[in-house]
Chain A
Amino acid sequence: MLREQYQQEIDDIVSRYPVKRSALIPLLYLAQREKGYITEAAMIEIARILKLTPPQVYETATFYTMLNLKQVGKFHIQVCKSLMCALVGSDTLIGWIKIKLGIGPGETTPDGAFTLSTVECLAACGTGPMMQINDDYYERLTEDKLDRILSDLRSAGSSALKTGPFMWPEPLAAKTETPVR
């Protein structure tokens, strides 16, 4: 149960708002962090915490694309397919991923490691093609970079190729020390 495990965090979130329902999306995120997706049991519990009906929780949960109501892979790859990224090769990127992982959009690898989704604009239009994997952005992707990222994730669970605090173009003098790629 969420409540037993996260009582303090839940109280802290709820205290930020004068109306309890505002804490709904933050609590759904909490449930998603716990299990990787939002279970029906979690939605019922959240309804009880916020004094809502389960359908009220469900109607909000089903509106937002980032809230997963189904299990996804350990690494959720989301490739931006909107025009700005498409102009610089996002369709090609999706093709590479399909070949390398053997899955199409909406599919998960049999070992449960990777899920591929295509999504709409992630606000990284100047540094496309790009993808988000779990919490991190990976930008200006090439086939080489993609290979390194996938192998880093498989072996270490994270990759140094992820974008740090964003700035593009980078400040000239600091080119070597900024973490943005």
Chain B
Amino acid sequence: MPKYEPILLKNMSQPGYAGTLAEYEKTGGYQALKKILGKVAPADVTQLVIKSGLRGRGGAGFPTGVKWGFLPKDHQGPRYLCCNADESEPGTFKDRQLIERDPHQMLEGIVLACYAIGAETAYIYIRGEFVLGARILEEAIAEARRAGYIGKNIQGTGVTVDVWVHRGAGAYICGEETALLESLEGKRGLPRVKPPFPATHGLYNKPTVVNNVETLANLPHIINRGPEWFAAIGSPPKSTGTRIFCVSGHVKRPGNYEVPMGITFRELIYEHSGGMRSDKTLKAFIPGGASAPFLTPDHLDVKMDFESVAAAGSMLGSGGVTVMEEGTSMVWAALRLMEFFYHESCGKCSPCREGSSWLVQTMRRIVAKRGRAQDLETLTDLCKNIAGRTVCAFGDAEVAPIMSTLKHWRPEYIALIHEAEASNLLRPQPAGAKG
């Protein structure tokens, strides 16, 4: 099995590493901060990050430095950084590990990002269920504050960055950046209409950057080892660096694996994750969290970078890879994800709110073998009327499981409906019933 040098998981892979400040400093921690704060101009830090090619690790893959560059240069008054630690895309569990095992790595990244964008306050929006993670972060922030890495006049440079942990309360949609901002403002987590974008009108209507935990955790390494070093890793020029892929489902060794972008799904699933858990073969996999369309064994040799997965008809998304073995019903799998989306639809846009309920009912009927011949058309119609017609990307995400399973495994849907029709023939019908 090919071995790769871990970057983000390096410290925590050392036996006994508990992620305290002293341990983090011993491995070169907070050196990047000392190198940059007050010594390199903020705009140059942004340039450096652009040069590294770093793209957002939350799901959309937007170039990080470019995002920072959208903040208005001449704005007077506060700006904000929000660290998106809402990790709620089904199949994804990497941020939890970064938070709980090496909190200072992401905190150093937060201070660096704040310096680059001129923010004096950062909020870490962490999903409410991560009680332990929130506690670990609070302790780490207190440690960093005592050591002069967070707070006023950091290391005597005159730079101020305050960091606060803000717990969410159980809503998937708050991982969407504008819903996150609404939630942070104490409101219901309903996504905002864009434009205006958070870069100009974000938290409290002030210029704001929202970055994922893994994105921010990369920053100290890019500073310490140089953007050229980072840009050479992975699948340059567009997908640089490593990704922490979260493997779940029917494999021998599920878990988090940090590998350079651009390895194949085959390598991730069969080598790093030990292959299938039994002698059943692979039937399907989701390449990037629940919002990513399902792929088939034919796609195992697709390279795991943003462009290649998009070309294969799906997306690399949040890096959550879910593997399903032969024998798993794809209609059932799509239903389980549809139930998730139905539960999590925030209710703002009618196509998504009403459509998700209709989709779930139709899918439940088909799985319970009470489907009707016209149900497949209903599903397709509904999906087409949701995707692209909502304020946020949730609408596109929720139709992905059904659309992709209908595309690749349509006979499974038809077989269930045929069974329903066959059993219908045995059922006495009231007078005048049609078909």
Residues of A within 8 A of B (CB): 16, 18-19, 21-26, 28-29, 50, 59-60, 63-67, 81-84, 86-88, 119-128, 132, 135-137, 163-169, 171, 173-174, 177
Contact = CB atoms under 8 A, between A and B. Distances in A.
19 contacts: A22-B166, A22-B184, A26-B167, A59-B187, A60-B186, A86-B336, A87-B250, A121-B91, A121-B290, A122-B129, A123-B127, A125-B246, A126-B246, A126-B248, A126-B254, A165-B18, A166-B97, A169-B253, A174-B15
Contacts of B89: 121
Contact of B169 (A67, A88, A135, A173): A67
Interface in B127-172: 127-132, 136, 164, 166-172
A121 B340 contact: yes
B174 to A, nearest CB: 9
B186 A83 contact: no
Contacts of B220: none
Nearest to B103: A165
Contacts, number: 172
Nearest to B277: A88
Given A21-B186, A120-B90, A126-B248, A167 B12 contact: yes
Contacts of B189: 63-64
Given A28-B169, A84-B249, A127-B254, 19 more contacts: A19-B185, A22-B184, A23-B186, A25-B166, A25-B186, A66-B170, A67-B170, A82-B336, A86-B336, A88-B250, A119-B170, A120-B339, A123-B96, A123-B130, A126-B255, A137-B129, A166-B96, A171-B12, A171-B13
Nearest to A91: B336
A64 B170 CA distance: 5
A96 to B, nearest CB: 19
Contacts of A132: 129
Contacts of A82: 90, 290, 336-337, 340
A127 B186 CA distance: 32
Contacts of B91: 84, 121, 125
Given A26-B166, A135-B132, A171 B336 contact: no
A126 B88 CA distance: 14
B115 to A, nearest CB: 20
B100 interface: yes
Going nearest first, the 7 A-B pairs with the smallest beta carbon separation are A64-B169, A24-B186, A66-B170, A21-B186, A125-B248, A126-B254, A174-B15
B318 to A, nearest CB: 10
Contacts of B128: 64, 66
A128 B248 contact: yes
Contacts of B171: 63-65
| Size bin of chain B's contact surface | 35 or more
Contacts of A65: 169-171
A83 B340 contact: yes
A25 B167 contact: yes
A66 B392 CA distance: 23
Interface of B: 12-19, 78, 87-93, 95-97, 100-101, 127-132, 136, 164, 166-172, 183-189, 204, 246-250, 253-256, 290, 320, 322, 324, 328, 333, 336-337, 339-340, 343-344, 346
Contacts of A26: 166-167
A67 B132 CA distance: 18
A19 B90 contact: no
Given A21-B186, A25-B169, A171-B14, A66 B129 contact: yes
A67 B171 CA distance: 11
Considering residues B78, B101, B164, B336, which has the most beta carbons from chain A within 10 angstroms of its beta carbon? B336
B132 A137 contact: yes
B204 A18 contact: yes
A23 B167 CA distance: 10
B78 A18 contact: yes
B13 A120 contact: no
B60 to A, nearest CB: 18
A19 B80 CA distance: 13
B93 A83 contact: no
Contacts of B167: 25-26, 29
A60 to B, nearest CB: 6
